[in-house]
Structure 1
Amino acid sequence: MIEEKLKYLYSLRRLGIKVGLEHTFELLSVCHNPHKRLRVIHIAGTNGKGSTSSMVASILETAGYKVGLYTSPHLIKFNERISVNGVHIPDEFIAKFIEKNKKHIQRISSTFFETTTVMAFEYFVKQKVDIAIIEVGLGGRLDSTNVVDPLVTAITPISLDHQHILGSTLCEIAKEKAGIIKKGVPVVVAKQKIDAKKSIISAAKKMNAEIIETGNTKNLKYSQSGTEFSFMSEVFLTPLFGRHQSENAATAIQIVRQFDKKIENETIQKGLSQTVWLGRMQKLSNKLPIYYDVAHNIDGVKAAISAAITTQNQKPHILISFKGDKEIDLIANEISKNNSSLIISGSKNLELMSANELYSAFKKNVNRTEFSKIDTLDVALSELINRVKKTNKTGLIMGSHYMAKPIFDKFGILM
């Protein structure tokens, strides 16, 4: 039964991405406006918004709150998108929601994301959560999630992404993401590039919203346990790896403090230590230093490579596969400068570029020839494992959420 319902839900993707909130409001109205019965923390950004959302959820759960978490996309199962205290939404609720609302979804022409967003809100109300952490899907101002009346908003680092929808410059994109800022509601702003920061600060001032800038993390130390850092005269440890994750953690800490100033540092640390966020510098093996990161834009790729280099202070073996060739010139140059070896692969069956397409794109942008092209992703993974074993260097797999299932299958990771 659930397979049939999910097939219908996925079929709504044919409607594409719609900018505007009318359809979301209409479907919410049919469902008795669950968003009006939720306390919400709303988080936008280009990079790190999922990691930050997950950390906030973990800290607040540790502090005793019942926490709803809505994120996207999923890695393996749709249910990952919607959870309460770390437990995914059950198949039964998904099936019943679609069955109950199918005629309204069709009448409204509600998209996949609009429908999923309303489903999340209704589930959180049914579960009587104390707080819902809502991650923006795309942009901010016209994103389906921007129907909520949040207690705190936050904007994680912004970079060029989805320019065909959000705008061609950092200023334009930041302005769209700053559209989640509400009148008189505090906004936590992560470390930003100058142009993005100007747009966010300007938007916040117009809304008379208190601005809380995350600031810098210091004294970073890396170990098998994760990333240790100093922030606001306290030392914290996140199991997520890399400088960028210390900055995401700092943003999460500021969000939590805006929501509940009584939460102690000990609780924050415990919550951080229990954060699980798959596909973000995720170590795939206890025996081998191989990591998986879904980074697919230039800033994400830079952060992942930097984190991989810090594991052993040497350039990693890299395996890449991408869904599209946006920013491929910048990404190709970044990767070509920072690898011990590079394997290019792909899979049309997984909605990824073929190995040939990606290889050709790289060759156009980089004056190097020592790339390995392996058509089959499973074979490419085996080759990366062999290179890591032979050299004892770090391995880094990156480029897309769509690679998750074959990667997890290869390394025996159960979901």
Structure 2
Amino acid sequence: MRRQRRVQAAGTICWTLLALPIASAYWSGNVVNYSEALNYLGTFIDYEKIPGANYAASGDPLTRTRLFLEYLGDPHRDYPSVIVAGTKGKGSTCAMLASILGATGRRVGLYTQPHLHTYRERIRIGDELIPHDCVASAVTRIARAVEMVHRDHAELGRITWYELGTAMAFCHFSERRVDVAVLEVGLGGRLDATNVVDPLVSVITPISLDHTQVLGNTLALIAREKAGIIKQGRPVVSAPQADEALAVIRGVCAERGASLLVVGETAPWPRSIVRPPPATSRTAGYLSVDLGGSRRDYGTLEVPLLGRVQATNAAVAVATIDELDSAGISVPIDAARAGLRATRWPGRLEIIAEQPIVVADGAHNDESARELGIALGEYFAPTERAIVLGVGVDKDARSIVRGLLAASSRFVVTRSRHARSADPQSLAHLVIGEGGQAWVEPSVSAAIESARAIVGPAGLVCATGSLFVAAEAREWAGLAVAE
């Protein structure tokens, strides 16, 4: 029988399992500190830093994760959940869902990735990031379970950095007694560590070509991986999809007896979208969205995230809320409206500075780049523009550049500090080959300063190509969250 001990630290309550003492390297009679906890996590393989790595290469990931969680008391079974997969809009949709559910007064756990500035962003309850001491006590709790899995079930392969983080989120949400958790899939869906849950609703945001080395090089193959989150008899909400992807989702739903709501067909759709006036400051206004086909009359919804894709994300979130309402998690219309209006999700068409306007956006594939190019024209006044661009080595840089050329032909290319960053010199040659102008700078901050000089105080600079570039742009603007 596992026994839990409650410890008080820094004004928060965390838990440790007395029956599972920490490995001696990280246990000296007290809970390890946050820095040591991160060091411990860093000893495990991190596929986020390995371009094109096969996430199934480390054995049988879901069997291993289930066993790992069983040693921890199956914390993911202590609360209802919603799981969200897709290529684009996962994080924004999760943020909307968490904000709406939080507006009802519930304690809502939110697990997302990657983080912009601090690991703690990945795991939060309401607006509170997981506290430092709770990260430390979570490592205290899980380290011995890791040893037991590796010792007794070596045939399953070694636990990964991502699986540890997912277990930490599940434990934190259990220990803090959340009422519901919103979980963003890290990669794919079928084999993702989050897919051990039995969610009330499975959500699939728009699917496009990305991570093709891992998930497959067609929409059908990628959709098959994403549709792996569909559970027997559980409802599914999907954003509009290409026919190829939607056919796969429909097929999996039929196989598993899962009802399917598709935005624009059987689920609400953005019937009208009113954009705010062109942004000239960090206060950019709200999208006004009227939904057609909703079960309830939400009236005009205000969405604080810019871009027409956010209207679709809002429709997906509202359809999911309607399904949760049917499952017994009631959400009054006023709470849905207030929660949607209060959504915050940095690094997505986010205005981070003025004179000139500087925007940070995490667009990292061809479709998101095209949408960003369109949005820059729709939400900002015609003016001198420059793109600060850095991409990952595993991304289709040419398609990203082509998508952004609609917004500007002037690119200041650079690289983020992330291990997967592509060489900026090669990126500059690609930009020139596509008919653009290119300048090269060694860092994101230097690139922004160079771009600001190019466009002048009345111009527009957009830092994009990856969330890591967007994060370093926010650091330049003094908006980074402290580690």
Give the TM interval when normalised to the shorter protein. over 0.9
**Structure 2 regions of 5+ residues with no counterpart?**
1-32, 48-52, 151-157, 277-283
**CA shift digits 1:86-127 (9 cap, x unpaired):** 211111111122123224324532101111111111111111
**CA shift digits 1:47-82 (9 cap, x unpaired):** 001100000000010012110000011000000000
Among 460, 475, 480, which residue is 1:409 paired with?
A: 475
Aligned to 1:21, what secondary structure does the other structure show? helix
User: What amino acid is aligned across from residue 317 of structure 2 in structure 1?
Assistant: A
Does 1:312 find its partner at 2:349?
no
Aligned to 1:257, what secondary structure does the other structure show? helix
Cα 1:274–1:348 change in 2 (3 A) is closer
TM-superposed deviation, 1:340? 5.0
Aligned to 2:422, what secondary structure does the other structure show? coil
- After superposition, where does 1:255-266 map in structure 2 within 5 Å? 255-260=320-325, 262-266=330-334
Cα 1:147–1:376 change in 2 (3 A) is closer
Aligned to 1:2: 34
Aligned to 2:461: 395
TM-superposed deviation, 1:317? 2.2
2:189 and 2:442 map into 1 onto residues whose CA distance is 37
1:143 and 1:48 map into 2 onto residues whose CA distance is 18
**CA shift digits 1:240-294 (9 cap, x unpaired):** 0000011111101111111015533322121011111011111102554321111
Does 1:66 find its partner at 2:107?
yes
Aligned to 1:246: 311
TM-superposed deviation, 1:412? 1.8
Among 251, 256, 274, which residue is 1:221 paired with?
A: 274
Aligned to 1:184, what secondary structure does the other structure show? coil
**More deviation, 46-55/224-233:** 224-233
Does 1:18 find its partner at 2:83?
no
**Contact (CA 8 Å) 2:94, 2:183: kept in 1 or not?**
yes
2:380 and 2:142 map into 1 onto residues whose CA distance is 52
Does 1:338 find its partner at 2:401?
no
TM-superposed deviation, 1:349? 6.5
2:398 and 2:468 map into 1 onto residues whose CA distance is 21
Cα 1:321–1:209 change in 2 (3 A) is same
Does 1:152 find its partner at 2:201?
yes
Cα 1:114–1:320 change in 2 (3 A) is same
**Contact (CA 8 Å) 1:325, 1:361: kept in 2 or not?**
no
- After superposition, where does 1:336-415 map in structure 2 within 5 Å? 336-339=405-408, 341-347=410-416, 351-364=420-433, 366=434, 368-390=435-457, 392-415=458-481
Aligned to 1:296: 364
**Structure 1 regions of 5+ residues with no counterpart?**
none
Larger Rg: 2
- Using the aligned pairs only, state the percent identity: 31
1:361 and 1:340 map into 2 onto residues whose CA distance is 12
Per the normalisation by structure 1, the TM-score is 0.93
1:395 and 1:348 map into 2 onto residues whose CA distance is 20
TM-superposed deviation, 1:373? 2.1
**CA shift digits 1:115-158 (9 cap, x unpaired):** 11111111111111110001111111111111001111110000
**Contact (CA 8 Å) 2:360, 2:474: kept in 1 or not?**
no
2:88 and 2:418 map into 1 onto residues whose CA distance is 26
**More deviation, 137-146/209-218:** 209-218
User: What amino acid is aligned across from residue 11 of structure 1 in structure 2?
Assistant: T
Aligned to 1:102: 143
**Contact (CA 8 Å) 1:320, 1:345: kept in 2 or not?**
yes
TM-superposed deviation, 1:369? 5.0
Per the normalisation by structure 2, the TM-score is 0.81
TM-superposed deviation, 1:348? 5.4
Cα 1:156–1:276 change in 2 (3 A) is same
Aligned to 2:349: 281
TM-superposed deviation, 1:407? 1.6
**Contact (CA 8 Å) 1:311, 1:394: kept in 2 or not?**
no
TM-superposed deviation, 1:10? 2.4
Cα 1:125–1:235 change in 2 (3 A) is same
**Contact (CA 8 Å) 1:351, 1:402: kept in 2 or not?**
no
Among 124, 134, 137, which residue is 1:83 paired with?
A: 124
**More deviation, 377-386/166-175:** 377-386
Does 1:269 find its partner at 2:340?
no
Instruction: Report how many residues are paired.
Output: 412
Structure holding more helix per residue: 1
2:444 and 2:89 map into 1 onto residues whose CA distance is 26
Does 1:176 find its partner at 2:231?
no
